[in-house]
Amino acid sequence: MQSALTLLLVPALGLALGVQPVHAHGGTYRGPADSVPPAASPGAAAPGGSASGPRQGGAPTSPGARGPASTPSSGAPGPEPDTSVWQIWWAYNREAYVDIKAAIYDPDPGAGGAGAFLGLGPKKFFRARLAPTEKDIRTRIVPALVRILRTESNTDIVTGALIALAKIGDAEAGAGPSLAALFEPFLADKNQEIAETAAVSLGILASVPSVPVLSHLLADSRQGRRWVGGKPEVPLRTRSFAAYGLGLIGHRVQDVGWKREIVATLARQAASPALSTPDVTVACVLAMGLVPLPVEPEFGPQLPASFSSVHTSRSAQIRWLEDLARSDEQHDLVRSHATLVLARLVADLPGRADLKQSLAAFLLRHIAPHSKEPRWMRQCSAVALGTLGDADGEEIDLAIRRSLQWTASHDPDRDTQHFAVIALANVASRPGQPGFGPGSGTALVQQYLQEQLTRGESMMRPWAALGLGLLGRSLEPGNGVREACAKPLRQGLRLARTPREIGAHAIALGMLGDVDATEILLHKLSAPGEDDTRAFVALALGMIGAVEALEPIQEILKRSKYRPKLLQQTAISLGLLGDKQLVPQLIDLLRTAGSLSAQASLAQGLGAIGDARSIGPLIEMLEDPQITPLARAFAAVALGIVADKEPQAWNAKLAIGINYRANTATLTDGQGSGILEIL
């Protein structure tokens, strides 16, 4: 099932690349349909499994409709899509750099709150507190979504309502029954898409009592098969989604005992006999990365790296994952993702330079010249080194920076080159350890990125721009290197002519909060150009806090009713700029919008902004039987975003830093049915 429901920069990405939004899971779509490689699909059915209603040409079928099972992709080589565009990376990672709700809800961005996080410039002004109250959520939003869930059978509406309620979460303990009891019967739904959405919804809900349920589903136990309606086996997609659900619960639960139980369950299933596809094992590995265990006082070299001990401590997790990453018997996708999770767990482990050096040496071999490792491993190793390294003069960090620079310039795989650029910028943004010349390597990396920006190949220049933005944003205003990052970006934006370069330069300057770029950005905004390019420019102006842009962006919004490429991004930008008339204006546009894509963009824009004034109109839309089911699903998802218990999208913790090229069908498949594609 495919999704027309999109958030923030998602429509700008898909539409900028000439791909129309697609429909699914009441969810989102982070990239064009060909932005991910072929992946082995779990089971012998189209996304959703044999009981799922397949989608033909993007058109939704009736709930629970059956169709011919498709043959799972083998992952065999075929025509390779162009995945080297920077917009795909930005779609997966943008929530690390743009927090729209924090900016809107913060009454004083100048006081070191959201304004500081966003890198906003000095032109700031008061923003009213517009967040919905707990009373709004519990007496208006939740009852409306529960009513829909109990009365509707349309797949889009049901899955949209499940995810929305899960994001909102339960009321405080003792304030009412848990939503888990409402979700669990959907595990046995004949429509596979609804069943798997119910599984991950229990995880998004962070329902600790649901841990045994998800564990049985993951294990394909007798009890798990009863939960899915007595099927002869739990579908592989449901098992994968259950693994992610366990990781999401473990991420939020405070009780260490529950964390250890979840980690042990994930490890046990990852160690079970190999399945027909790597989806379940990859899901277990990535889910484990969401549940770092406490660090014990001493590492203890005698601790065995066994599956039975993986749940005892962080070091046991690390050893278990290291065995997995080094195993020749594991699928390359499993090994690749294990390296990423390893790097995150090690980087967050204080005082263990030996672990950092050992893991870095292992990763450096993967991206060395003439490495025979598959490109997934090279890509993930580059990303992982970006998590481990820093900018001091320690020998291992010098080796990391040299190797990443070589990879960025010479690796035969373009995606690996681009991941290395981002990794190099991340490494240079961390000063490093006292006593080793902290920050001594930052200026050299900045010079390399500037050279790539001005004299590199055309495909490399947008990535170099992003790298400079990432590097400069970590430094204090007034820092010489920060200005050295901003200056070539301003000059490059002034001269840029292609949409890719204009957008990348604009976003990089937005990450820097570079108010000196305001005039250039305003010029690019007013110049004739493609809608997706102007959308990125508008967003950059919002990130900078350029109040001079209010009027021109308002004018663009007024003219964008039939241009969904611009609708959402101009709305986000105006939200960042504190436009108090924005929500009423979007509501008026929503009431009269005639196209599906316009409805999607407007509903998602309202959800992302999170203004309580949008609740009533969205509930009306949700409950209106005269409008299309997809439009009603848009309203359900938007309500979930408005009242989300977390500041970021629930799957941002999986998406940020992911290697979207090392793909499985349940991770992301370009059709809206992967875990990263659900809003």
**Which residue in this structure is represented by tokens 């848009």?**
634
The values of phi and psi at residue 25, to 5°, are: 45, 20
**Range 358-364 contact pairs with CB under 8 angstroms and sequence separation of 24 or more:** 359/322, 359/384, 359/388, 360/385, 360/388, 360/389, 360/396, 360/399, 360/400, 361/396, 362/322, 362/325, 362/326, 363/339, 363/388, 364/399, 364/400, 364/403
CB 127 within 8 A of CB 113: no
pLDDT at 62: 26
pLDDT at 83: 65
Burial 425-450 (b: 16+ CB within 10 A, else e): bbbbbbbbeeebebbbbbeebbebbb
pLDDT at 336: 96
The values of phi and psi at residue 56, to 5°, are: -110, 120
The model's pLDDT over 238-262, given as tens digits with 9 standing for 90+, comes to 999 999 999 999 999 999 999 999 9
pTM of the model: 0.86
pLDDT at 81: 53
pLDDT at 70: 30
pLDDT at 36: 46
Whole-angstrom Cα distance, residue 142 to residue 161? 10
pLDDT at 673: 81
The model's pLDDT over 469-505, given as tens digits with 9 standing for 90+, comes to 999 998 887 788 899 999 999 999 999 989 999 999 9
CB 671 within 8 A of CB 33: yes
CB 492 within 8 A of CB 453: yes
pLDDT at 547: 92
Its sign, for the CA torsion 352, 358, 361, 365, is negative
Which residues, given as ranges, of the chain have pLDDT below 50?
1-24, 26-38, 40-80, 108-128, 297-308
First-to-final CA distance of the chain: 13
pLDDT at 588: 80
